[in-house]
Amino acid sequence: MASKITRSALRATTQLSHFSQTQSSFGPRHASPIFRRYLATPAEQPRLRLGSEAPNFSAKTTQGDIDFHQWLGGKWAILFSHPADFTPVCTTELGAFAKMRDQFEKRDVKMIGLSANDLSSHGKWIDDINELSNTTLQFPIIADADRKVAFLYDMVTEEDMKKIDTAFTIRSVFIIDPSKKLRLTMLYPASVGRNTSEVLRVIDSLQLGDKKGVTTPIDWQVGDDVIVPPSVKTDDARKKFGEVREVKPYLRYTNVSDSVKSK
């Protein structure tokens, strides 16, 4: 009996020793700085799902320090990011957004840009933007040299996740509604410039959908027919919208262009 206990104890000791050696082989493989950072503070980089609240942050901008949620002020907004000041594609993009100021203001939409540099170069870059695009840029640009907002909004590529202070901030667009909810996210590779008309088109679609309870089809433009959601019965749709064109029981069109033009 004693020998059995001894043999059992020996096997247990051997297994424990093997387990310890196995664990020690993983010991030197410390987590990367970015992993440790988010492991310690998981709330720092929330999941950016459509319908979730846009993460809040404090930052320096070309128009002073802001608290992002306070800056939103209960209005629609677009937040768009750039890799760096004095980069060619970014310069054309900011100039295009600046020239569309009246279009966004007509829809009660605020604009705010972001560039992964500090304020010391933002001002001169804005001078270049105004000169090259023949415009006057009037919305704020966030200074995000430490990539705080870039990581918070997941504006980095997979290969840049380990580069906390030098990560390459990709081109991102976020549309945020008056209740601070994320309504659209678009992520572009650094080599591809954005389409400002598409951003405006999406805002028109979202605002119309919120107001009238409709959805918009492929390539929809203001004034085109819209789609009656499947949740609305055809009879109820006719009472609400007037003429309804039924292509299939699940695909019905109507037109609410007058309400769009009047906004």
Q: Per residue in 211-252, pLDDT tens?
A: 999 999 999 999 999 999 999 999 999 999 999 999 999 999
Among the listed residues 80, 110, 109, 104, the one whose alpha carbon sits nearest the alpha carbon of residue 92: 80
Among the listed residues 247, 196, 203, the one whose alpha carbon sits nearest the alpha carbon of residue 222: 203
Please give the structure tokens belonging to residue 211: 């107001």
φ/ψ of 29, rounded to 5, equals -80, 70
As a whole number of angstroms, the distance between CA 74 and CA 69 comes to 9
At 26, the pLDDT band (50, 70, 90 cuts) reads very low
Mean pLDDT, range 84-106, rounded to an integer: 92
pTM score:
0.77
**Looking at the predicted structure, is the pLDDT value of residue 41 above 50?**
no
pLDDT of residue 190: 77
Among the listed residues 197, 203, 186, 243, the one whose alpha carbon sits nearest the alpha carbon of residue 50: 186
Give the residue with greater pLDDT, 32 vs 155: 155
As a whole number of angstroms, the distance between CA 50 and CA 185 comes to 8
Write out the catalytic residue numbers. 90
Please give the structure tokens belonging to residue 69: 């949620």
Please give the structure tokens belonging to residue 24: 């020690």
Q: Output the average pLDDT for the chain.
A: 82
Q: Give the list of residues 6+ apart from residue 58 with CB closer than 8 angstroms, or none.
A: 65, 66, 67, 68
